[in-house]
């Protein structure tokens, strides 16, 4: 292995030469306490920055095994280390100067969710630590300014590494707190089924966010407090006794006046599929990890999804058992979203009337009298929601402020009253009894077919070099295909979009053969990530990009929205 001094000499030699001479810096260099690896060098100062990684041996990093042996603790520790490094890097970024991206020092920008990322990996066997970062190699115009790069590699980076990647140098308390919280969160998630719950919202939680563009907690918000009827207490492995609202399995209705906090509660449940960092306010808002937000998504493409449990006998005679369209309506898109969520193994559906197609959700009595069932292709969700639970074990939480019809089918009814939940089940059921439903019960539907076998797509193939660009939470562009994920609301991070793009690329190369079902493809991708980590998704020569692990449900959602994929 080359030494740091070798690198210093090299930098002296290439100073003031033209930019491509930077390519010679590729390689690994032993610095005091760590190895700096230059994995990919950008082609010019305006291109995507160079990719570097820092490797610290286990005995040097010296993190106690108790911090990382358990997988959930390890993910939390990796997240904590990434955030620490990012804080250091942010102060030093662009302190070295030059044209284009010169001087940039960046690692993953973590949001409020704690995710497994390629940015940082701690090997559970050896304790070895790997941290990835991007650096804009400095130039004046297109002339190498190696003195500025020297400042970064020999001045700034060692400071960042010292301050964040060695246990002895660091504020250890925060690391233990992060790992302990992760274990508490996992504990709650695992207890949910045993307690007959599909979600838990701790007392004292802060659900609303600072603004539509900030995911930080709202200041001065009304803290959450469970109604007595739904209150559950848990003894956490680390955090002591905690109480909060347990949402029972089955069908739960959230009602209340406009602006009383219904959607805010639902949104918190949606993101409760993930763990949140300390100080977020939603640390102990936990939904089963297979919770799926269902909404209308006009215009999405659908390929061979069996929506016949909701829609059949279309006037154009189209087959709804393998429904295909390039431009779905509100109701067909929402029906497809439900069935595809079932295919993805959803245990809980989360629905907000604000983002639903009305004709998919209900059909009122008067309308049923005027337009007879035979004339209506849609069996609304209200007629299927019970069977979803009774036959498939899939619970539903629905926000419905405007239709009382759901009172009849709900097991529990929660009213949001000035941001405080109240259990009004008895009251609402009493009122509902005075308005019995006269319509005949719906015909039972056979289980949907999930027999979809994706074939390779010419749009995804591209040339030898993969062109992949994350569009943040809006989607991902892979070669000639752009996948629109704007309405996949539980996508938490742009790095998840990037990982989804790599899932497509990997599947295209290794898995899509027209024989494996979509489920088998996704199973294989998940096994790969479980076994070898996210890195295994990309056979990228130019260093591993920043990726965050998507949930199984979002992998399905991505494949379902990849229009060129023939299923
Ligand atoms: P609804 O869906 O019932 O119409 P929302 O959930 O959209 O209501 O909430 C309305 C407004 O109230 C939002 O601006 C939200 O940020 C704010 N809000 C929600 N919960 C709280 C709370 N606990 N404390 C303070 N403000 C809140
Ligand atoms: Mg609302």
Question: Could you identify the atom of ligand 1 that is nearest to the CA of residue 209?
Answer: 16
Which ligand minimizes its atom distance to the CA of 223?
1
The reported pLDDT for the residue numbered 541 is: 67
Q: Are 333 and 302 in contact (CB under 8 A)?
A: yes
Which ligand minimizes its atom distance to the CA of 255?
1
Phi then psi for 144, rounded to 5 degrees? -60, 130
Q: What stretches of 153-215 show up as alpha helix (H) in DSSP?
A: 157-164, 172-194
Mean pLDDT score of the chain? 95
From atom 9 of ligand 1, which residue's Cα is the shortest distance away? 261
Give 387-416 as a DSSP string.
Answer: HHHHHH--EEEEE-SS-GGGGGT-SEEEEE
Q: What is the pLDDT of residues 185-232, one digit of tens each?
A: 999 999 999 999 999 999 999 999 999 999 999 999 999 999 999 999
How confident is residue 459, by pLDDT bands cut at 50, 70 and 90? confident
Mean pLDDT over 21-39 rounds to 97
- Nearest CA-CA partner of 282 in 493, 80, 112, 398: 112
How confident is residue 436, by pLDDT bands cut at 50, 70 and 90? confident
| For ligand 1, mutation pick of 204, 206, 208, 399 (most atoms within 8 Å of CB) | 208
The reported pLDDT for the residue numbered 382 is: 95
Q: What is the pLDDT of residues 135-181, one digit of tens each?
A: 999 999 999 999 999 999 999 999 999 999 999 988 899 999 999 99
The reported pLDDT for the residue numbered 540 is: 67
The reported pLDDT for the residue numbered 51 is: 96
Q: Ligand 1 center to residue 212 CA distance, Å?
A: 11
Q: Ligand 1 center to residue 417 CA distance, Å?
A: 10
Q: What is the pLDDT of residues 529-540, one digit of tens each?
A: 999 999 999 976
Give 238-279 as a DSSP string.
Answer: TTEEEEEEEEESSEEEEE-STTSSHHHHHHHHHHTTSEE-TT
Q: Ligand 1 center to residue 409 CA distance, Å?
A: 26
- Nearest CA-CA partner of 556 in 469, 461, 485: 485
From atom 19 of ligand 1, which residue's Cα is the shortest distance away? 261
Per cent of the chain over pLDDT 90 is 88
Give 469-495 as a DSSP string.
Answer: EE-GGGEEEETTEEEE-TT-TT---HH
Alpha-carbon distance of 160 to 511, in angstroms, equals 41
How confident is residue 401, by pLDDT bands cut at 50, 70 and 90? confident
Give 314-371 as a DSSP string.
Answer: -TT---STTEEESS--HHHHHHHHHHHHHHTT-SEEEEEGGGS-HHHH---HHHHHHS
How much is the pTM?
0.96
Alpha-carbon distance of 468 to 476, in angstroms, equals 7
Which ligand minimizes its atom distance to the CA of 254?
1
Question: Could you identify the atom of ligand 1 that is nearest to the CA of residue 257?
Answer: 3
From atom 25 of ligand 1, which residue's Cα is the shortest distance away? 221
Q: How far is CA 14 from CA 19, 99, 145, in A?
A: 9, 17, 9
Q: Ligand 1 center to residue 294 CA distance, Å?
A: 20
Q: Ligand 2 center to residue 255 CA distance, Å?
A: 10
Output the 3-class SS for 283-305: CCEEECCCEEEECCCCCCCEEEE
Question: Could you identify the atom of ligand 1 that is nearest to the CA of residue 260?
Answer: 3
Residue 551 is classified by DSSP as P
Q: Ligand 1 center to residue 123 CA distance, Å?
A: 42
The reported pLDDT for the residue numbered 439 is: 72
How confident is residue 372, by pLDDT bands cut at 50, 70 and 90? confident
| For ligand 1, mutation pick of 202, 255, 261 (most atoms within 8 Å of CB) | 261
Q: Ligand 2 center to residue 174 CA distance, Å?
A: 36
Which ligand minimizes its atom distance to the CA of 224?
1
Q: Ligand 2 center to residue 355 CA distance, Å?
A: 9
- The upper half-sphere exposure of residue 241, i.e. CA atoms within 13 Å in the direction of its Cβ, equals 3
521/362: higher pLDDT: 521
Which ligand minimizes its atom distance to the CA of 262?
1
From atom 26 of ligand 1, which residue's Cα is the shortest distance away? 221
Mean pLDDT over 305-332 rounds to 94
The reported pLDDT for the residue numbered 437 is: 76
Q: How many CB atoms lie within 10 A of CB 94?
A: 14
Which ligand minimizes its atom distance to the CA of 261?
1
Q: What is the pLDDT of residues 70-117, one digit of tens each?
A: 999 999 999 999 999 999 999 999 999 999 999 999 999 999 999 999
Q: What is the pLDDT of residues 415-428, one digit of tens each?
A: 999 999 999 999 99
- Which residues does a 6 A CB cutoff place in the pocket of ligand 1? 207-208, 218, 221-222, 256, 258-264, 416, 419
Q: Ligand 1 center to residue 259 CA distance, Å?
A: 6
Whether pLDDT at 481 is above 80: yes
Q: Ligand 2 center to residue 350 CA distance, Å?
A: 13
| For ligand 1, mutation pick of 206, 264, 350, 351 (most atoms within 8 Å of CB) | 264
């Amino acid at each position: 292995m080359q030494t740091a001094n070798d690198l210093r000499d090299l930098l002296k030699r290439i100073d003031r030469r033209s930019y491509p001479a930077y390519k010679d810096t590729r390689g690994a260099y032993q610095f005091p306490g760590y190895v700096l690896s230059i994995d990919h060098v950008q082609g010019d100062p305006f291109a995507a920055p160079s990719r570097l990684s820092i490797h610290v041996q286990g005995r040097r990093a010296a993190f106690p095994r108790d911090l990382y042996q358990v997988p959930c603790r390890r993910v939390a520790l990796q997240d904590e280390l990434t955030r620490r490094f990012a804080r250091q890097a942010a102060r030093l970024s662009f302190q070295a100067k030059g044209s284009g991206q010169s001087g940039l020092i960046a690692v993953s920008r973590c949001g409020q969710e704690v995710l497994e990322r390629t940015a940082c990996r701690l090997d559970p066997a050896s304790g070895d630590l790997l941290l990835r970062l991007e650096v804009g190699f400095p130039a004046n115009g297109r002339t190498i300014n190696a003195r500025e790069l020297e400042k970064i590699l020999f001045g700034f980076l060692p400071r960042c590494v010292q301050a964040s990647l060695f246990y002895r140098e660091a504020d250890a308390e925060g690391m233990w707190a992060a790992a302990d919280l992760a274990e508490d969160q996992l504990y709650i998630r695992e207890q949910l089924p045993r307690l007959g719950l599909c979600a838990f919202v701790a007392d004292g939680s802060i659900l609303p966010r600072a603004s539509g563009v900030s995911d930080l907690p709202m200041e001065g918000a009304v803290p959450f407090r469970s109604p007595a009827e739904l209150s559950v207490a848990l003894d956490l492995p680390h955090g002591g006794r905690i109480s909060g609202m347990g949402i029972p399995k089955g069908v739960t209705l959230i009602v209340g006046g406009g602006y009383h906090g219904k959607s805010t509660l639902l949104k918190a449940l949606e993101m409760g599929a993930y763990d949140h960092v300390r100080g977020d306010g939603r640390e102990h808002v936990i939904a089963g990890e297979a919770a799926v937000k269902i909404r209308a998504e006009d215009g999405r493409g659908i390929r061979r999804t069996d929506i016949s449990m909701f829609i059949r006998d279309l006037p154009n005679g189209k087959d709804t058992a393998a429904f295909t369209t390039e431009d779905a309506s509100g109701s067909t898109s929402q029906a497809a979203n439900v069935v595809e969520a079932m295919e993805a193994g959803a245990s809980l559906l989360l629905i907000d009337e604000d983002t639903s197609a009305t004709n998919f959700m209900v059909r009122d009595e008067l309308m049923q009298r005027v337009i007879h069932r035979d004339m209506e292709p849609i069996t609304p969700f209200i007629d299927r929601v019970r069977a979803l639970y009774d036959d498939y074990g899939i619970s539903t939480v629905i926000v419905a402020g405007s239709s009382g019809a759901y009172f009849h089918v709900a097991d529990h009814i929660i009213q949001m009253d000035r941001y405080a939940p109240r259990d009004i089940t008895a009251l609402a059921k009493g009122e509902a009894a005075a308005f019995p439903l006269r319509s005949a019960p719906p015909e039972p539907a056979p289980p949907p077919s999930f027999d979809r076998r994706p074939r390779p797509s010419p749009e995804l193939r591209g040339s030898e070099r993969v062109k992949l660009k994350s569009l943040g939470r809006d989607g991902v562009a892979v070669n000639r295909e752009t996948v629109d994920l704007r309405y996949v609301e539980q996508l938490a991070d742009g790095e998840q979009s990037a990982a989804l793009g790599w899932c497509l690329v990997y599947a295209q190369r290794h898995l899509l053969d027209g024989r494996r079902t979509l489920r088998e493809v996704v199973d294989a991708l998940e096994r790969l990530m479980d076994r070898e980590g996210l890195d295994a998704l990309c056979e990228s020569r130019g260093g591993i990009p920043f990726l965050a692990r998507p949930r199984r449900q979002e992998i399905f959602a991505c494949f379902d929205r990849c229009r060129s994929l023939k299923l």
